[in-house]
Amino acid sequence: MRLIGLDPGLRHTGWGVIEAAGNRLSHVADGVVHSRSDRTLAERLVDLFRQLNDILADYAPAAAAVEETFVNKNPASTLKLGVARGVVLLAPAERGIPVFEYSANLIKKSIVGVGHADKQQVEMMVRRLLPGAALEAPDAADALAVAICHAHHAATERAWAAGAAR
C-alpha cells in the first residue's frame, strides 16, 4: 500500500511517500513544499494546496497521515499553523484519500521508542528504516516518520480486525 506522510507548516510542509507491504517498508520519494512569505495568507494557502495536489497526483497514495498540531506559545503562529494544517488535511480528503492523524509524541514513540525524541534521533531512525531515503530536509524526514507511524498502526489495526473476524 502506498502511503503519504505530511508534516504541516505554512512556510515549509514536509511530505514523504512510502510503500508498505506487510512488515516491509520502502522509500518512494520525499520533499518539502514551500510558500513565499511575501504573499498574503490566502495566496500562501493556495500555493500549498496546489503543490500538495501535484504531489498527490504524481504518487497516488492510498492513504495520508498527518501530524497533529501542538500548541505554540505564540497564538498567532498557532493559528497560522492551524490554517496550513487545514489545507494539508483538505488536499488528500478532497481527492477521496483517507486521512489519519497522529500526535507528535506517538510518531516519535513509534519511530524512536521515546515520545520526546529530538529531530536528529527521528531522522537517524527514518534513515535506518528506509535505507536509501534522500531526506531532502528535516521536514521531509518528519513526514516520512508520520508515514512509517501510520504503516505500523494500520498493520496492527488489520491484524486486530482479522483476529476479531475469526
User: Hey, which residues are catalytic here?
Assistant: 7, 67, 139
Mind spelling out the 3-state secondary structure of the chain?
CEEEEEECCCCEEEEEEEEEECCEEEEEEEEEEECCCCCCHHHHHHHHHHHHHHHHHHHCCCEEEEECCCCCCCHHHHHHHHHHHHHHHHHHHHCCCCEEEECHHHHHHHHCCCCCCCHHHHHHHHHHHCCCCCCCCHHHHHHHHHHHHHHHHHHHHHHHHHHHHC
